[in-house]
Amino acid sequence: MKVLANDGISASGKEALTATGHELLEITVAQDKLIDYINKNNVDVLLVRSATTVRKDLIDACPNLKIIGRGGVGMDNIDVEYAREQGRHVINTPAASSQSVAELVMAHMYGMVRFMHDSNRQMPLEGDSNFKKLKKNYANGIELKGKTLGVIGFGRIGQAVAKLALGVGMHVVYHDPVATVSSLSLEFFGGQKVDIPVQNLPLNDVLKQSDFITPHIPGGKLIGKKEIEMMKDGAGIINTARGGVVVEEDLIEALNSGKIKYAGLDVFVGEPAPAITVLMNPHVSLTPHIGAATLEAQDRIGTELSDLINEIANKMA
């Protein structure tokens, strides 16, 4: 098959695809020229990440396109149901990035509770002139050990986050209307394992009990003014799921009032141009949608996509 990886693919993915006889097109085509390129070059497989969209117009205009693949979990940039109704295969890699996203959640939490997101901004500006003042400003950090983490959505990523949190001594509760997980197995270096119980609680209970909340759902407005009011005073929210899952206006209001003390955001409503009120708020730890952007995750994404393409190609042969 002829494969266009329009948003790039890892070296391991390239190797896996070409080793099994596929032709890989290593080019990034502008969105407005994509339909013409796919048709002129008889592309069978279009692989995208978050930069390229695959909507109804492209699906209708490219009848020879057999497979649409998303390197990552969410597929909100693809008209998935419509594509499948038209007989196209739509694939993604939900397992490949779980560890990377989970570690970013923990990175935000560790950084927030020691004010690293702000001290990294201020030290270059004032470190040489106001060192003692800055030291005093950032002297009221807290430890994560002993705190309660509420995980909303307990799929692969939610469970990966929970395992890391349990590993540093946090108490974990979660809410998921369909999950039946009662314990998690933590694996340590050297092959040691330990099972730790976790509780699936109603959403309101998770919000009320948790020191930190991290949602891991595919979209929708989950945490707004009403939900924030239920949370502990001085709690924290980390959103690496989808922009808008945490209502940004309500979050900023809560940060400014002191109701919420910590916030970490990797995803934004206005990507790729997030609201300036979010970007400039000194209480927010910010990353530019890099949850799955590790070398290890990219390797796993590439090889997993290759495996899925081979599986479909073999069935079609």
Catalytic annotation, pick one of 242, 283, 300, 304: 242
Buried b or exposed e, range 101-133, using 16+ CB within 10 angstroms: bbbbbbbbbbbbbbbbbbbeebeeeeeeeeeee
Which of 307, 308, 294, 311 shows the shortest CA–CA distance to 10? 294
Which of 87, 107, 121 shows the shortest CA–CA distance to 161? 107
Q: How far is CA 241 from CA 26, 110, 215, 268, in A?
A: 29, 18, 6, 10
Which of 79, 22, 71, 39 shows the shortest CA–CA distance to 316? 22
Q: How far is CA 203 from CA 6, 41, 196, in A?
A: 39, 50, 21
Contact in structure between 213 and 150 (CB atoms under 8 Å): yes
In the residue annotation, 242 being an active-site residue is answered as yes
Residues 252 and 284: their CA atoms lie apart, in Å, by 9
The shares of helix, strand and coil residues in the chain, as percent rounded to the nearest 5, are 40, 20, 40
Catalytic annotation, pick one of 23, 103, 114, 289: 289
Backbone angles phi, psi at 162, to 5 degrees: -60, -40
183: left (phi over 0), alpha (psi -120 to 50) or beta: beta
Catalytic annotation, pick one of 26, 85, 143, 271: 271
In the residue annotation, 289 being an active-site residue is answered as yes
In the residue annotation, 171 being an active-site residue is answered as no
Residues forming the active site: 242, 271, 289
